[in-house]
């Protein structure tokens, strides 16, 4: 039986919602289902304003515009992240400044961030890897002291928590993903969470192609017109309809994924004890994850490659993760590293992600564990 790395799924009224949207005759953005998604996110996460976008990339690009960056301004972020984190700010002419990650959480190392701050620094972008929170208290305190903005890349962190607060709602702005590889999905999709009221009105304008259309529909102006830069960041109402059904079951989805992660950990603990691989470290105190991914760390890139091939031959699809941005052609050209990135370089060559999705069964987890065990036997 083949075990895919990921498999999109339905869990509730997704298809019924899509049919209803078609019947109601509104398929463009900001229809009934999109508004329900906004309300759910604001109510359940605690954001002052939530705005659906067609991707997390779009949410990051909106956040970058809201930062009012000028060419040459600097934005601190990890190199161990998806290209969208850096691209959003590079598109505004800013320089991504790459800082190394912690070995325990694989998140931005908060102890190194202050040393990366220069007079050109404007923002810090913590990326909550695997749905495990960065050390936000330290980053928020530093940002406050230096007058910097904090934009959370919480693409992987829907409903994860840091000291009782949902990820994406701690910084000035937060960005979520509902891509089909995430916990809660809509195929493509994302959301910008606006936590600082100063940015709400402009965020609405940027999302509506630079117009004050949202104000017009609320009756606050008698016509709408072009007032700022912006783009078409709204998702289709079909996306909102699908996502609306998923959000209703978000807690159950995360619980299932956490159970699968626990099953992987139980099954692979013996291999960790024998020194064949390393498992993710438990989340630090006060941090609650969402079961977004389960990864293992091998001895080196050669062993990882051999294991990927071994599993593939037995019908199990596993994948490695990011090529560090500081070593990518565009990263070398558009960004810079703030000191050595030894942990980033090391982890990126040894990390392997195992299959994890809502439709995965525990007997399939046992099969993956059995195949990995066979590889080392």
Token pair 């928020």 is at which residue? 140
Say if residue 1's pLDDT is above 80.
no
pLDDT tens per residue, range 237-255 = 999 999 999 999 999 999 9
pLDDT in tens, 313-338: 999 999 998 999 999 999 999 999 99
The DSSP output letter for 155 is T
> Which tens digits make up the pLDDT trace of 45-99?
999 999 999 999 999 999 999 999 999 999 999 999 999 999 999 999 999 999 9
Tell me the pTM.
0.97
pLDDT-derived band at 101 (thresholds 50, 70, 90) equals: very high
**Residue percentage of the chain with pLDDT more than 70:** 100
Average pLDDT over residues 204-215: 94
Residue 241: both structure tokens together: 């309809």
From edge to edge, which strands make up the β-sheet containing 95-99? 49-53, 190-194, 173-177, 149-153, 121-124, 74-78, 95-99, 336-337
pLDDT over 90 at 359, yes or no: yes
Decide: 189 and 177 in contact? Cβ < 8 Å: yes
The full 3-state SS of 178-235, as one line of letters, equals CCCCCCCCCCCCEEEEECCHHHHHHHHHHHECCECHHHHHCCCCCCCCECCCCCECCC
Residue 50 DSSP SS3: strand
Please compute the mean of the pLDDT values over residues 103-126 and round it to a whole number. 98
Q: How far apart are CA 218 and CA 211, in angstroms?
A: 14
Q: Residues 123-137: what's their mean pLDDT? A: 98
């Amino acid at each position: 039986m083949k075990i895919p790395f990921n498999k999109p799924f339905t869990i509730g009224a997704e298809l019924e919602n899509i049919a209803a949207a078609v019947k109601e005759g509104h398929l463009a953005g900001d229809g009934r289902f999109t508004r329900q998604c906004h309300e759910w996110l604001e109510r359940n996460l605690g954001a002052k304003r939530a705005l659906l976008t067609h991707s997390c990339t779009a949410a990051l690009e909106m956040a970058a515009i809201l930062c009012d960056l000028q060419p040459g301004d600097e934005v601190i972020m990890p190199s161990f992240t998806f290209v969208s984190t850096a691209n959003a700010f590079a598109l505004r002419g800013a320089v991504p400044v790459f800082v190394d990650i912690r070995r325990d959480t694989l998140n931005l190392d908060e102890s190194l961030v202050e040393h990366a701050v220069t007079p050109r620094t404007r923002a810090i972008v913590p990326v909550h890897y695997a749905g495990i929170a960065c050390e936000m208290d330290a980053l928020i305190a530093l940002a406050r002291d230096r007058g910097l903005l904090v934009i959370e890349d919480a693409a992987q962190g829907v409903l994860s928590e840091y000291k009782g607060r949902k990820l994406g709602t701690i910084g000035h702005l937060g960005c979520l993903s509902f891509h089909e590889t995430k916990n809660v999905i809509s195929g493509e999709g994302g959301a910008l969470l606006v936590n600082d009221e100063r940015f709400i009105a402009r965020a609405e304008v940027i999302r509506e192609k630079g117009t004050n259309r949202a104000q017009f529909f609320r009756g606050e102006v008698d016509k709408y017109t072009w007032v700022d830069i912006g783009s078409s960041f709204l998702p289709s109402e079909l996306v909102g309809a699908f996502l609306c059904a998923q959000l209703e079951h978000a807690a159950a989805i995360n619980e299932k994924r956490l159970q699968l992660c626990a099953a992987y950990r139980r099954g692979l603990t013996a291999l960790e004890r024998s020194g064949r691989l390393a498992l993710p470290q438990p989340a630090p105190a006060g941090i609650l994850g969402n079961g977004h991914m389960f990864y293992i760390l091998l001895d080196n890139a050669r062993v990882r490659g051999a294991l990927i091939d071994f599993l593939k031959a037995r019908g199990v699809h596993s994948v490695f993760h990011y090529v560090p941005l500081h070593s990518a052609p565009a990263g070398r050209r558009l960004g810079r590293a703030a000191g050595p990135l030894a942990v980033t370089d090391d982890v990126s060559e040894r990390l392997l992600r195992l299959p994890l999705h809502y439709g995965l069964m525990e007997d399939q987890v046992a099969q993956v564990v059995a195949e990995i065990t066979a590889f080392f036997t």
